[in-house]
């Protein structure tokens, strides 16, 4: 879709997320062409991958419209312009166009495929992170997402052989993963549950102190060994330096509660209480030395020898929302919609940018609208003179991997 070059006329409501500002975004900045190529999976002509796909829109006053479907990209664009949804969710591909669901006989309308998706939310790390809570994030706790992306991306590629993977920032406090290989899209619910189970390691609720309990056999699995190598690379900087998980008695008590040896818990608590101002790095070193010595003694309690490994995994390994993954008809927020709380765009994240991606630098709707109104030396579409350009580039690179044949010419930004 070619965008016009006219400057938008907006009033003082540019800082608000409203049908007007969203309408401008969908008209001038949303990457319609690439978006259609992605979800159609087969070039220009619409296939059932697109026409039988469910979209859901959240519109003004929180009205939620499910089972929306479209015959082509143009119809989708018209509805976006007409409704200006504050949120777009992507669902499954069904046996018939979802907009006809109510007119079909029971049992005829069924989900048949969808991308294998994963959702990781920062609030699931609230029992660990000390810098922020709830919907807040900062550079320090975002590194939990960095580790999660590294661990899952490696597993999906190396253990399952998937190659068509897109990561996306949720717009506020987490990341989503879209696995778009045909094998992944065709998985039924039991298959998705098996993949989620393979990748899930943290078990137990808030009342349970120790949530990772690996047998000696499971600990030798290549996925665990590889994940531990990644976790070890980040553990000191993220948990001990940034989060200072042993800085105060409240914090170190949570860690000591994971020890299977009550005497050692009391000993370390007493030792640190005498000098509480020591850094978490120093306290961690003391703790591991004490654990190793106790574990080496004959008759030491089972679990001491694996304490360091299990704790590092519990503190740093990805925490998946398994319900999102296990059901083919589960909806997930679309890339490139605007998060209603932050105003930030839900942008793709390249695999080689896991460590450098900054969620707080992602453009907001208000920022983008200002940018396309500013005098610019750029020619062409309005979008090409905004902060969206690098994220569109990431998306374009990904979309090129899902098309049936690679482009013969050098790719260019196509909005």
Contact at 8 Å (CB) between 33 and 73? Answer: yes
54 assigned to active site: yes
Which two structure tokens, joined as six digits, stand for 209? 């102190």
What is the Cα Rg of the chain in Å?
24
250 assigned to active site: no
Instruction: Give me the catalytic one of 54, 181, 244, 310.
Output: 54
Q: At what angle do helices 249-256 and 262-274 cross, to 10 degrees?
A: 160
Which two structure tokens, joined as six digits, stand for 240? 């001990």
Q: What is the DSSP string of 263-308?
A: HHHHHHHHHHHHSTTS-HHHHHHHHHHHHHHHHHSTTPPTTGGGHH
61 assigned to active site: no
Tell me which residue has tokens 């900062």.
138
Question: Alpha-carbon distance 107 to 164, whole Å?
Answer: 32
Q: Which residues pair with 367 in a beta bridge?
A: none
Instruction: Give me the catalytic one of 89, 119, 242, 261.
Output: 119
Instruction: Give me the catalytic one of 89, 115, 121, 396.
Output: 121
Contact at 8 Å (CB) between 399 and 34? Answer: yes
Question: Alpha-carbon distance 163 to 389, whole Å?
Answer: 24
Contact at 8 Å (CB) between 32 and 39? Answer: no
What is the set of active-site residues?
Answer: 54, 119, 121
């Amino acid at each position: 879709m070619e965008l016009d070059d006219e400057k938008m006329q907006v009033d003082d409501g540019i800082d608000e997320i409203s049908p007007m500002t969203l309408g401008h975004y969908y008209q001038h900045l949303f990457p319609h062409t690439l978006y259609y190529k992605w979800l159609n999976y087969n070039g220009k002509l619409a296939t059932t991958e697109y026409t039988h796909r469910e979209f859901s829109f959240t519109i003004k006053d929180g009205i939620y419209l499910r089972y929306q479907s479209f015959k082509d990209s143009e119809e989708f664009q018209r509805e976006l312009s007409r409704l200006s949804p504050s949120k777009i969710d992507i669902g499954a591909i069904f046996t018939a166009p979802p907009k006809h669901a109510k007119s079909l006989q029971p049992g005829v309308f069924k989900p048949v495929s969808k991308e294998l998706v994963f959702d990781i939310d920062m609030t699931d790390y609230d029992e660990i992170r000390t810098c922020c809570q709830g919907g807040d994030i900062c550079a320090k706790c975002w590194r939990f997402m960095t580790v999660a992306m590294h661990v899952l991306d490696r597993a999906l590629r190396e253990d399952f052989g998937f190659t068509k993977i897109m990561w996306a920032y949720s717009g506020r406090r987490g990341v989503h993963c879209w696995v778009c290989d045909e094998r992944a899209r065709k998985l039924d619910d039991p298959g998705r549950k098996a993949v989620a189970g393979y990748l899930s390691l943290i078990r137990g609720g808030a009342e349970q102190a120790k949530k990772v309990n690996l047998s000696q056999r499971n600990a030798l699995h290549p996925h665990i060994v590889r994940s531990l190598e990644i976790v070890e690379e980040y553990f000191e900087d993220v948990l001990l330096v940034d989060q200072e998980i042993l800085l105060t008695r409240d914090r170190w008590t949570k860690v000591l509660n994971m020890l299977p040896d009550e005497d050692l818990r009391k000993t370390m608590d007493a030792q640190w209480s005498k000098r509480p101002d020591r850094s978490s790095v120093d306290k961690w070193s003391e703790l591991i030395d004490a654990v190793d010595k106790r574990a080496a003694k004959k008759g030491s309690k089972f679990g001491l020898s694996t304490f360091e490994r299990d704790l590092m995994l519990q503190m740093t390994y990805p925490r998946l929302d398994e319900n999102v993954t296990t059901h083919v008809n589960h909806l997930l927020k679309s890339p490139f919609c605007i998060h209603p709380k932050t105003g930030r765009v839900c942008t793709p994240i390249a695999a080689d940018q896991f460590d450098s991606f900054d969620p707080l630098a992602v453009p907001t709707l208000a920022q983008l609208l200002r940018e396309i109104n500013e005098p610019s030396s750029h020619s062409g579409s309005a979008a090409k003179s905004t902060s969206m350009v690098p994220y569109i580039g990431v998306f374009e690179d990904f979309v090129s991997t899902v098309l049936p044949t690679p482009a013969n010419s050098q790719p260019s930004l196509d909005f």
